Structure 1
Amino acid sequence: MKKCFLLTRPDHDLITKYLFYWSRLVIKEAKNVGFKVLDIRGKKATRKNFLTYLKKYQPQLILFNGHGADDLVTGYENEILVEAGKNEEVLSGTIVYSRSCESAKALGPAAVKKGTTAFLGYKKDYFLCYSQLSVRQPLKDKVASLFLGPSNLIPTCLLKGKLVKESFAESQRKMK
């Protein structure tokens, strides 16, 4: 069975648009190293589509791009995709990187208790700065690159077969 990488890329506001565009670099790397890419993008980043893809393809790695809270992650127009105490078991057997505010606070531990292999994310707000001069070209935004470049290292390192701990450490080194 081919290795499979699933990512959500809603694009309904400025922050999700930045994550949407910067995730293109991760998608390119996934394809380069032989992963089947399941890109749930734009308006298709719904709970129904996410759960359908998850069940059908059983990805090894998941990247959430979107908004969140301590117990959940969202997709397009902030529709809840996964929520602690409701459906975190759907992540069982996967490695998850959640680029959303606070989702590692409660959702991460709950998901791991239900069988998620690893959950990387943020216990506080996910912070992203950008240049007003570059909002029409997010990939050329040098300010955003200071945040999203290191953030992209986590999934790209995982895709290349690095351990979760190594992927996290590499991202942290790049932030310094």
Structure 2
Amino acid sequence: MVNLSKHIKYIGVFKRIPYFIAQRMFLVNFRVPWPVHWSSIVSNHKNIKRADFRPYPGFMPGQYIQAINGIEIGKNVRLGPGVKLISASHDLNDYSKHANSGPIVIGDNCWLSADVVVLPGVVLQEHVVVGAGAVVTKSFGPNVLIGGNPAKVIKYLPSYVGDQDKW
């Protein structure tokens, strides 16, 4: 069951109204049970597993969340505007089919900056920060800053110390 008071506290009443109008009146992403920005697309939302009520995949402008093979999101995850989470590629011998792969897994305390693309089967362990515009084609271990196309480790980070239970 959705705890509406948590949503209202996190987003605010007046910020929630345009999302409500777009989803419930204009039927943009209307099947998704959490707030989705009207310029974002969330497909196969039932294959998305979130460890906490946030993040809301698709909440920021311009996000494309495709969960055909599943997406698992940990606690205290930030998804910037324009993030693309693509869990299934097309079969190279039949474009009408999707290839099977493992789900995208994003661990606790991760931050995906603006315009990041995460491709099928990628696992980001705890406290991975992905620089803006990165294309993540492979999995990464904990406590790293990654960036580029294809993404690579830029810097190793200390363990996350922020307040995870603020909300």
**TM-score strictly above 0.5:** no
Larger-Rg structure: 2
Structure with the largest fraction of helix? 1
Higher RCO (C-alpha under 8 Å, 6+ residues apart): 1
- Identify the TM-score tier after normalising by the shorter chain: under 0.3
Structure with the larger strand share: 2
